[in-house]
Amino acid sequence: MADLQNEFSWSKSRHEKFAGCRRAYFDTYYGSWGGWEAAHGSDVRELYVLKKLSSRWQWAGSVVHASLKQLLSAARATGTFWSLEKLLERTRARARAEWATSREKSYWREASRIVGLVEHEYGEPVPDADWKRLYEETIEGGLRRFWASQTFEEIRRTPRDRWLTVDELDSWIFEGSKIWVAIDFAYRDADGRVQVLDWKTGRERGVDHVQVGIYALYAQRKWGVPPDGVVGGLVYLAGEGDAAERVSVAADPTALEACQATMRGSIAEMRAALVDPARNVARLEAFPMVEDREVCRRCPFRRPCGRL
Ligand code: SF4
């Protein structure tokens, strides 16, 4: 097998990491590179394991995403939807197993496969009642609200030959840079428009135009739809009501232009920080630690940074 190259690519999460702390960005995309085969106990191995850790809220969101992916992928393959009970039962079993192996810090053996939580790594005291609430409100509550939603009803009504993707990782090229996307669910509606849906497990309500713009630009290329033929849908699974709410966002030309300007600026800034942009080589010194220590409180890299 040819050697893997640390090729430059861009994603919205990379953009956010770059904006949050340059050192965390370096550790995630450069310092940890090759850590999967580095010796146990080495610095690169440590950074690789740490970068894979999630906070408990990120973990809860990923459990919900994984469950919905399983539910919809199984329905796509077989034409039959699981019952709600089966969905909840499988989710509970997986969440329990992931939590238990994380508590044992098993991720140090194989971080690419075994889930790890920042709270377990750093021994943060989280009361049992908080874990319980996280499970009941975010994970199980989110799935129940999805189940009761108009969005799920529409998905059930849409013939499977109009389903376009179920949370598959893909990429496209924007002005020479690879852009990663994973759309939670996309389908072609009865009017021929492409609906791209994103599951939201947080409570924020601010519409993320960059995210919707990236999806729309990808959808245009991937499925050959005109600029006004894509509709973004943010589906909020958290909240008080019984059913998830959907907020639709049109990807109009102004929004797409703004999105491309953000991507262009972000890519240029990231490349400018490299010592050799053509070969994607970075040096630690160009990526300082953030000044505001408040940012470090939940960071997985706080031990190597000396900010415990
Ligand atoms: S601990 Fe603080 S300085 Fe270090 S990578 Fe994390 S956020 Fe940045």
Rounded to whole angstroms, the Cα distance separating 22 from 31 reads 12
pLDDT in the model for residue 254: 85
Protein residue whose Cα sits closest to atom 3 of ligand 1: 289
Q: What is the distance in A from the centroid of ligand 1 to the CA of 52?
A: 15
Find residue 225's DSSP bridge partners.
none
Q: What is the distance in A from the centroid of ligand 1 to the CA of 37?
A: 24
pLDDT band at 1 (very low <50, low <70, confident <90, very high): very low
| Whether 135 and 247 share a structural domain | no
| Whether 225 and 136 share a structural domain | no
Domain extent at residue 111 = 20-152+293-300
Whether residue 11 lies inside any domain: the answer is: no
Rounded to whole angstroms, the Cα distance separating 92 from 104 reads 19
Chain segment 233-254, per-residue pLDDT in tens: 999 998 778 999 998 887 888 8
pLDDT in the model for residue 252: 84
pLDDT in the model for residue 3: 65
Mean pLDDT of 184-203: 93
Protein residue whose Cα sits closest to atom 4 of ligand 1: 305
Rounded to whole angstroms, the Cα distance separating 111 from 52 reads 7
| Whether 62 and 36 share a structural domain | yes
Q: Does position 57 have pLDDT exceeding 80, yes or no? A: yes
| Whether 145 and 167 share a structural domain | no
Whether residue 126 lies inside any domain: the answer is: yes
Chain segment 134-182, per-residue pLDDT in tens: 999 999 999 999 999 999 999 999 999 999 999 999 999 999 999 999 9
- Structure-derived torsion over alpha carbons of residues 17, 22, 23, 25, reported in degrees to the nearest 10: 30
| Whether 30 and 128 share a structural domain | yes
| Whether 239 and 188 share a structural domain | yes
How far is CA 289 from each of CA 26, 68, 103, rounded to the nearest angstrom?
A: 10, 37, 28
Rounded to whole angstroms, the Cα distance separating 53 from 241 reads 31
| Whether 233 and 111 share a structural domain | no
pLDDT mean across residues, the chain: 94
Mean pLDDT of 207-220: 86
Residue whose CB lies within 8 A of the most ligand 1 atoms, among 292, 305, 308, for a mutation test: 305
Chain segment 58-104, per-residue pLDDT in tens: 999 999 999 999 999 999 999 999 999 999 999 999 999 999 999 99
pLDDT band at 206 (very low <50, low <70, confident <90, very high): low
pLDDT band at 212 (very low <50, low <70, confident <90, very high): confident
Q: Does position 2 have pLDDT exceeding 70, yes or no? A: no
Protein residue whose Cα sits closest to atom 2 of ligand 1: 296
Whether residue 307 lies inside any domain: the answer is: no
| Whether 138 and 172 share a structural domain | no
pLDDT in the model for residue 177: 96
Rounded to whole angstroms, the Cα distance separating 98 from 89 reads 14
CA angle 18-134-14, nearest 5°?
A: 10
Position with higher pLDDT, 280 vs 210:
280
Chain segment 168-177, per-residue pLDDT in tens: 999 999 999 9
Q: Which residues of 204-220 are buried (b: 16+ CB within 10 A; e: fewer)?
A: eeeeebbbbbbbbbbbb
pLDDT band at 289 (very low <50, low <70, confident <90, very high): very high
Give me the residue label for tokens 């729309």. Answer: 216
pLDDT in the model for residue 207: 63
Ligand 1 neighbours by CB, cut-off 6 Å: 21, 23-24, 27, 289-290, 295-296, 299, 301-302, 305, 307
Whether residue 236 lies inside any domain: the answer is: yes
Whether residue 285 lies inside any domain: the answer is: no
| Whether 74 and 131 share a structural domain | yes
Whether residue 217 lies inside any domain: the answer is: yes
Please give, one letter per residue, the 3-state secondary structure of 177-218: EEEEEEECEEEECCCCCEEEEEEECCCCCCCCHHHHHHHHHH
Position with higher pLDDT, 202 vs 193:
193
Residue ranges in the chain assigned as alpha helix (H): 12-20, 22-26, 43-51, 56-78, 84-103, 118-121, 128-133, 141-147, 150-157, 209-223, 253-272, 302-305
Chain segment 9-23, per-residue pLDDT in tens: 999 999 999 999 999
Total tally of structural domains belonging to the chain: 2
Instruction: Name, in order, each residue with C-beta under 8 angstroms of 235's C-beta and a sequence gap of 6 or more.
Output: 146, 149, 151, 197, 198, 199, 200, 244, 245, 246
For residue 21, give the ligand 1 atom closest to its CA. 8
| Whether 144 and 186 share a structural domain | no
Whether residue 230 lies inside any domain: the answer is: yes
Whether residue 1 lies inside any domain: the answer is: no
